[in-house]
Amino acid sequence: MSKKTMIEGSNIEIKGKIKRFDIVKKVVNAFIEFEKDKKGRGVVFEYPVETLSSGDMLYVHRPGKKWNFDFKVNIPLNCGLEEGRHDQVAFSLRAIKMNNAKEFDKLWKMITELYDCSENDVDLMLNKNPISYKGEPKPDILLKVIKWLFIMEDIIYWHYEGRVFLYNFFMYVISESDEDRLKDTISKIRERKLTPNNFRKLFEKLGIDWRPATKE
């Protein structure tokens, strides 16, 4: 295995009401400006993006799988999200909803704000409307990870279909009442056997409203 050199970039701050395109432009430009004279075999980059209540820093790591402008969200150990796969995050949301529906409703409202980019400052949202439930992951960690998963999807899929699919995937997992169908659907998504179009048809069948991205 070839030795890798890790270089830490400057903090990338995304807060307030910012359009999706402007978020993508800010993040990609940060990558370009910092990495333009530091490229080389085995060189990888990480950027601090959020301070977490656990005392850890949330980083995004580059390059991602596609070696373009995408990145990986580095999930801190022992925060309750395992590797931070989309299905692991979704099942965390499902568990919170099952155990504390009232607090989950507040959490989901904030996730929708992040999805719409009507507010990107998680700490501000939680200061205005605190969320409290037992267990992990803590609300701020969960929301900040989801925020950067949305941004990651925007950079991979510039038509915003990635962001839309991820939000509606979360919606499906928290809404599905049939455990066997839930497992089967997630298996098909992992194996890329369920197209976005067929996923939308499943929503229609179950009476779940598919939520598109808001217009710029």
Can you tell me the distance from the alpha carbon of 125 to that of 121, in angstroms, rounded to the nearest whole number? 6
Can you tell me the distance from the alpha carbon of 90 to that of 93, in angstroms, rounded to the nearest whole number? 5
Task: Provide the number of structural domains found in the chain.
Answer: 1
**Does a structural domain hold residue 215?**
no
**Does a structural domain hold residue 216?**
no
**Does a structural domain hold residue 97?**
yes
**Does a structural domain hold residue 214?**
no
**Does a structural domain hold residue 104?**
yes
Instruction: State mean pLDDT over 103-125.
Output: 97
Instruction: State mean pLDDT over 122-129.
Output: 98
Q: Is the pLDDT of residue 3 over 90?
A: no
**Does a structural domain hold residue 127?**
yes
* Cβ-based neighbour number of residue 39 at 10 Å: 8
**Chain centroid, CA 48 distance in Å:** 15
Closest by CA position to 74, among listed 63, 84, 86, 65:
84
Q: Left if phi > 0, otherwise alpha if psi is -120 to 50, otherwise beta: which for 40? A: left
Domain span holding position 56 = 5-206
Can you tell me the distance from the alpha carbon of 104 to that of 93, in angstroms, rounded to the nearest whole number? 8
**Does a structural domain hold residue 212?**
no
- The pair of structure tokens assigned to 114 is 């992040």
Instruction: State mean pLDDT over 1-19.
Output: 89
Rounded to whole angstroms, the maximal C-alpha distance in the chain is 52
Can you tell me the distance from the alpha carbon of 74 to that of 57, in angstroms, rounded to the nearest whole number? 9
Q: For position 203, what pLDDT does the model report?
A: 96
Q: Which own/partner pairs from 29-38 qualify as long-range (CB within 8 Å, at least 24 positions apart)?
A: 31/62, 31/69, 31/71, 34/9, 34/10, 35/9, 35/62, 38/7
Q: For position 32, what pLDDT does the model report?
A: 93
pLDDT per residue over 150-180, tens digit each? 999 999 887 778 999 999 999 999 999 999 9
